[in-house]
Amino acid sequence: MSLRPDNPLIVQSDRSLMLHTVRAVVDARGFPVKDENGEPLTEEHPRFAAARDALSVFAELEKSPDYLHTYRITPVSIWNAAAMGQTAQDIAGVLQEFACVPVPNAVIKELTQWVSRYGLLRIERRSERFELTSEHKDALADVLGHESIRKLVELDSAGRVWVGPLARGSIKQALIKIGFPVDDRGGYVQGDSFAITLRTRTRNAGKPFEPRTYQKNAATAFHAGGTVLGGSGVVVLPCGAGKTIVGLSVMSLVGEKTLILTTNTVAVRQWRDEILDKTELGEADVAEYTGDHKEVAPVTITTYQMLTWRRSKTDVFEHFSLFSRENWGLVIYDEVHLLPAPIFRVTADLQARRRLGLTATLVREDGKEDEVFCLIGPKRCDVPWKVLEAQGFIAAATCIEVRVPLPQALKSVYAAASARSKFRVASENPLKLNVIQHLLERHRQSHVLIIGQYIDQLNHLSRQLQVPLITGKTPNAERAELYENFRSGKLPVLLVSKVGNFAVDLPEANVAIQVSGTFGSRQEEAQRLGRILRPKADGSAAVFYSVVTLSSRDQEFAEKRQLFLTEQGYAYEIVEAGPWIDAGVRDAEVVP
């Protein structure tokens, strides 16, 4: 490959990728054009957007400063791409298409090897037994050289490798740790038959109902006609794009008893409402298994917290029996990127059940993407946020970071604090109140969600702004009433803690103000942005503000969270809030 200096990508031998977002503006003679201060002018690189979208299929974004984005190719990112049909030639072709200098041969060889390992080993059913097999005997010999693998299998006199029914998950976990993702074609037990028919008109409002094309495609890709090629895996869709409808469509295709796991009781009830509204099932067919109601029906919905509850750290998980209480044909993991470790462990024993993971982002802050890959299944469908925005299925969004100075009185406190405490001091910067007041005045006609991490900070804001607050301790009945008042417009502003990150169906919300977050959590950024992405009746855009303390740990972690926004194609504007702080008198125009 020859040099192509007009291209935006550099591929390095350590599998890191550097993508230029801008290029210098030149005149007709090829000389750089400068502004009135003598600084070179730049413009967005004409191939940046196309390169970004192509790389997102098989590479993970690590850093996103203004001019140079850094990606990394990992085994799991390559295996997820392979599961969606990408070949080594496809991936190498993208790198060569956008690279400005030759792609190192070592990178091509390594990604080719990773792609070749996807499906190299298979689990196949042989009557009532499961065999670990491969067309390449050297591959089997290689993995059997590892003690961690040998102790999980049995070898017969013919050299065949057998896996116990309850060891399917464990062997897949062990094999992915040594670089061998397994294509599990062992099939599934037949769950109890239970027909689930989608309605053509919603029950509540009588409106026409049909899953959108991308929702149908996601369900079909997961189900794969009921063959062993499908039935387990993850569907990645933006918040507000109807992941619940994908779940209902899969339930209809499978037609068996279903267990649904989600994040909180509010989400349980939203799932139940959607099921009753958009399927022919009746009240007795859909049960809630929570602290309020412990009922079981052919479709049962519960929470991760419920299943992982125990009286003490040494006691058993009392509600794990729900997994075996019924002959489930399908288990749905809502917000699968939040799956707690105990659920991973029990899922290792559930490999004979169909498993659907739903999420807006596969990024896990604990780095356990490989656990999701091998225990739930590979990525089956991933529709970019910007694609659905362009089609009008989610609202357009403007993302703005507002940087607030730290008060002089807190600078010595901040300087003396530990690294962790520095983040909290900066996150709870009292001058953020002035900024929030300014933004509320600017968005008087909007439905505004204010979201934060620290309860003390949120309680203070609630008192100062005279706005109700929802936290994890807010009773469910009060929570439901506040959400309903917000939907109806009686309550234009609502404060929410981390409970607002998940499954809050508030389609009217069009402005979100994030005042503090969970360190550098990309998954949290996805959830919070998703709260305002339901399409608006008037077609208006949403605005997502992050209020951070200037030149602090708060700003550092905000930059990590913004990786998610960049990954999805969102640009974000950075605004200094100094002019807003002076008694709120002076103004700064920030909304495009």
CATH of residue 172:
3.40.1170
286-289/232-236 β-pairing: unpaired
Residue 192 lies in a domain: no
- Asked if residue 433 and residue 291 are part of one domain, the reply reads no
Residue 297, SS3? coil
Higher pLDDT, 119 or 300: 300
- Asked if residue 404 and residue 443 are part of one domain, the reply reads yes
- Asked if residue 357 and residue 278 are part of one domain, the reply reads yes
Q: What is the pLDDT of residue 195?
A: 97
Residue 224 lies in a domain: yes
Query: The domain spanning residue 479 has which CATH number?
Result: 3.40.50.300
| Residues 528, 360 contacting (CB under 8 angstroms) | no
Q: What is the pLDDT of residue 533?
A: 74
- Asked if residue 366 and residue 441 are part of one domain, the reply reads no
User: Encoding tokens for residue 480?
Assistant: 């439901």
If you ran DSSP here, which 8-state letter would residue 534 be given?
Answer: S
Residue 142, SS3? helix
Residue 246 lies in a domain: yes
Q: What is the pLDDT of residue 554?
A: 85
Q: What is the pLDDT of residue 522?
A: 64
- Please state, in angstroms and rounded to a whole number, the distance separating the CA atoms of residues 221 and 385: 19
Q: Count the Cβ atoms, other than its own, within 10 Å of residue 50.
A: 14
Tell whether the model's pLDDT for residue 385 goes beyond 60: yes
| Residues 212, 220 contacting (CB under 8 angstroms) | no
- Asked if residue 236 and residue 173 are part of one domain, the reply reads no
Residue 3 lies in a domain: no
Residue 39 lies in a domain: yes
- Please state, in angstroms and rounded to a whole number, the distance separating the CA atoms of residues 316 and 318: 6
- Please state, in angstroms and rounded to a whole number, the distance separating the CA atoms of residues 452 and 497: 5
The H-or-E segment that residue 484 falls in is helix 476-488
In order of 100, 400, 543, the CA distances from 571 in angstroms are: 24, 9, 12
527 closest CA partner among 304, 259, 338, 244: 338
Residue 197 lies in a domain: no
Question: Looking at the DSSP assignment, which residues form a beta bridge with residue 9?
Answer: 19, 99
Amino acid present at 261:
L
Sheet (strand 354-359) strand order: 286-289, 299-303, 258-262, 330-333, 354-359, 232-236, 379-382
92 closest CA partner among 107, 81, 77: 107
Burial class (CB in 10 A: 0-12, 13-18, 19+), 42: middle
- Asked if residue 133 and residue 112 are part of one domain, the reply reads no
- Asked if residue 296 and residue 269 are part of one domain, the reply reads yes
Q: What is the pLDDT of residue 590?
A: 34
Residue 194 lies in a domain: no
Tell whether the model's pLDDT for residue 589 goes beyond 50: no
Q: What is the pLDDT of residue 175?
A: 94
Domain end point (choices 92, 117, 142): 117
In order of 121, 488, 518, the CA distances from 452 in angstroms are: 46, 23, 9
- Asked if residue 549 and residue 434 are part of one domain, the reply reads yes
pLDDT digits (tens, 9 = 90+) for 51-65: 988 998 899 877 766
User: Encoding tokens for residue 566?
Assistant: 């960049």
Q: In sequence order, which residues have a C-beta less than 8 Å from that of residue 301 and are 6 or more positions away?
A: 260, 262, 268, 271, 272, 286, 287, 288, 289
**In this predicted structure, which of 175-184, 235-244, 251-260, 297-306 has the lowest mean pLDDT?**
235-244
Q: What is the pLDDT of residue 60?
A: 84
Q: How many CA atoms lie within 13 A of 552 on its CB side?
A: 30
b (16+ CB within 10 A) / e for 551-573: ebbbbebbebbbbbbbbbbbebe
- Please state, in angstroms and rounded to a whole number, the distance separating the CA atoms of residues 385 and 6: 28
Tell whether the model's pLDDT for residue 270 goes beyond 60: yes
* Local confidence band at 523 (pLDDT 50, 70, 90 cut-offs): low
Residues in the chain: 592
Higher pLDDT, 292 or 106: 106
Domain that holds residue 465: 390-581
- Please state, in angstroms and rounded to a whole number, the distance separating the CA atoms of residues 100 and 11: 9
- Asked if residue 399 and residue 379 are part of one domain, the reply reads no
Domain end point (choices 357, 383, 409): 383
Residue 554 lies in a domain: yes
- Asked if residue 368 and residue 224 are part of one domain, the reply reads yes
Q: What is the pLDDT of residue 519?
A: 60
- Asked if residue 516 and residue 436 are part of one domain, the reply reads yes
Q: In sequence order, which residues have a C-beta less than 8 Å from that of residue 490 and are 6 or more positions away?
A: none
Q: What is the pLDDT of residue 188?
A: 93
Burial class (CB in 10 A: 0-12, 13-18, 19+), 327: middle
Higher pLDDT, 520 or 417: 417
Domain end point (choices 69, 96, 117): 117
Chain Cα centroid distance, residue 420: 25
Which residue has tokens 């850093």? Answer: 63
Q: What is the pLDDT of residue 502?
A: 57
Q: Give me the number of domains the chain comprises.
A: 4
266 closest CA partner among 454, 462, 467, 483: 483
Helix axes 168-177, 341-348, angle to 10 degrees: 120
- Report the first-to-last Cα separation within the chain, whole angstroms: 42
CA-angle at 475, arms to 473 and 477, nearest 5°: 155
| Residues 219, 159 contacting (CB under 8 angstroms) | no
Tell whether the model's pLDDT for residue 131 goes beyond 70: yes
- Asked if residue 78 and residue 149 are part of one domain, the reply reads no
496 closest CA partner among 470, 517, 457: 470
- Please state, in angstroms and rounded to a whole number, the distance separating the CA atoms of residues 65 and 70: 9
- Please state, in angstroms and rounded to a whole number, the distance separating the CA atoms of residues 498 and 205: 31
Tell whether the model's pLDDT for residue 583 goes beyond 60: no
| Residues 275, 286 contacting (CB under 8 angstroms) | yes
Chain Cα centroid distance, residue 153: 34
Tell whether the model's pLDDT for residue 365 goes beyond 80: no
CA-angle at 388, arms to 233 and 337, nearest 5°: 35
DSSP per residue over 252-285, as a string?
HHH-B-EEEEESSHHHHHHHHHHHHHHBS--GGG
Q: What are phi and psi of 421, to 5 degrees?
A: -70, -30
